[in-house]
Amino acid sequence: MTDLACACRTDHEAPPISESRARPTRQEAPFRPRQNDRARNPHLDLEVDLIVLRHNVEGIAIATGVEVMPVVKADAYGLGADVISDAIADLASGFCVFQAREAIAADLAHRTGKRVLALGPPESLDPSDYIANGITPAVCNAAQARELRKARPALCVDTGMQRFACRPEECREALVAGDCQEAFTHATQRSHVEKFRDLTSGHDLIRHAAASSLLHDELAVLDAVRPGLAMYRNAIRVSSRIVELHSTKGSAGYSGFTTARHGIILAGYAHGLRKGPCLINGRRSRLLEVGMQTSFVEADADDRVGDSVVLLGENLTEHELSQHWSCGPHEVLTSLSFASTRRYFC
């Protein structure tokens, strides 16, 4: 493990809970406040288990047998790129971000000692901007590759995404123009990988195509993999606490819902929450109505004020919630994480 000292510290103290309802705890890692933490909801708690995170990354490395380049773009999906990267730096061959500015803001390469690949289109065509910060820029065409040659760019190859990537007919020219030693594609299906392998054959390259969705496809596991969401399996818990309980009389809320008993939590759609399942005291329940900063949850006779309402985690996965929210699982995680108060456990 990295030298993350383990001592309880957070920017907001959670309300006390009785011993009978307390969850088994690990030591809490240091919280590093950021400028945008003022916008975080102190009543929406995000817990990241760094031991499970490391276990997942180790498992990916063993299963694939190749280098692992964790994706920590968008502040590691809102989980905190600095803490996440510190926790797994010794397991990673490098890190991936979307824009170079993300890596610079987190001082990612210098802090971890690992190279960083910026997956998105180049923000600058000055090689020194990347070299000084330990960043490998991605290029999308021969002209960009030529301009950024000194920064040893990686070629992003379009195999079907049709988004800031090199057209198949220009790939060989771009590889030569940039003296590229690395190429990758944003593959979402096996046919994308097959096309990528064909387009880059005959070149001595580091190649990677598999993100989380293709980690189990041997054809997609080339020289490295780029896991994102897969790293956080069973490592994340998002919760809030019941602040009021009512025996429902007639219709309630803005929508006029009816139920026998309901509770209120201080989190709503302003914090990324949507209607769907939740857990109360290990029991399946549901969010009856989601307002801007509060939500109604279905409660039963055993629930109490102060009880935790789990909105993500404890067998309630991003994939399950994505079905109810009509979105992708990545959107579930980032929607809930950016407004939550972060706590790390190791």
Instruction: Give pLDDT tens digits for 82-123.
Output: 999 999 999 999 999 999 999 999 999 999 999 999 999 999
* Distance separating alpha carbons of residues 139 and 198, to the nearest angstrom: 19
Lowest-pLDDT range of 34-38, 96-100, 334-338? 34-38
Which bin fits 155, alpha (ψ -120 to 50), beta or left (φ > 0)?
beta
H runs (alpha helix) in the chain: 50-64, 73-78, 81-88, 100-105, 108-112, 127-131, 142-147, 171-177, 190-200, 318-325, 329-337
In tens, the pLDDT along 135-155 reads 999 999 999 999 999 999 999
**Cα(86)–Cα(283) distance, rounded to whole angstroms?**
35
CA-based angle 232:77:159, to the nearest 5? 90
Q: Which of 283, 268, 338 is nearest to 315 (CA)?
A: 283
Coil, helix or strand at residue 40: coil
Measured in residues, the chain has a length of 346
For 159, other C-beta atoms within 10 Å of its C-beta total 23
CA gap 287, 292 in Å, rounded: 13
Number of separate helices (H) and strands (E) present in the chain: 11, 17
Query: What is the distance between the alpha carbons of residues 223 and 209, in angstroms, rounded to a whole number?
Result: 9
Dihedral angle sign, alpha carbons of residues 130, 232, 61, 80:
positive
d(CA 190, CA 334): 26
Q: Pairing mode, if any, of strands 277-280 and 308-312? A: antiparallel
DSSP letter for each residue of 58-97: HHHHHHH-SEE--B-HHHHHHT-HHHHHHHHGGG-SEEEE
Domains of the chain are 66-232 (3.20.20.10), 236-345 (2.40.37.10)
DSSP state of 38: G
Average pLDDT value over all residues in the chain = 91
Q: Taking 90 as the threshold, does the pLDDT of residue 11 lie above it?
A: no
pLDDT bin (cut points 50, 70, 90) of residue 26 is low
d(CA 291, CA 129): 44
Distance of CA 336 to the CA centre of its chain: 11
Residue 48 has pLDDT above 50, yes or no: yes
Residue 184: what pLDDT?
98
Residue 32 has pLDDT above 80, yes or no: no
Structure-block tokens of residue 294: 């509060």
Beta bridge partners of 139: 155
Compute the average pLDDT of residues 179-189.
97
- 25 has a pLDDT exceeding 70: no
* Alpha-carbon span 309 to 297, nearest angstrom: 9
The 3-state DSSP class for residue 346 equals: coil
For 209-235, write each residue's pLDDT tens digit. 999 999 999 999 999 999 999 999 999
Distances (CA, A) of 6 to 232, 263, 340: 20, 34, 21
Please tell me the predicted confidence (pLDDT) of residue 36.
53
CB 166 within 8 A of CB 140: yes
Q: How far apart are CA 286 and CA 303, in angstroms?
A: 14
At 338, the amino acid letter reads F
The structure's pTM equals 0.87
pLDDT digits (tens, 9 = 90+) for 252-275: 999 999 999 999 999 999 999 999
How much is the average pLDDT of 289-312? 98
pLDDT of residue 39: 77
Give the span between the Cα atoms of 229 and 267, in whole angstroms: 24
| Assigned token pair, 116 | 């960083």
Q: Is residue 243 pLDDT above 70, yes or no? A: yes
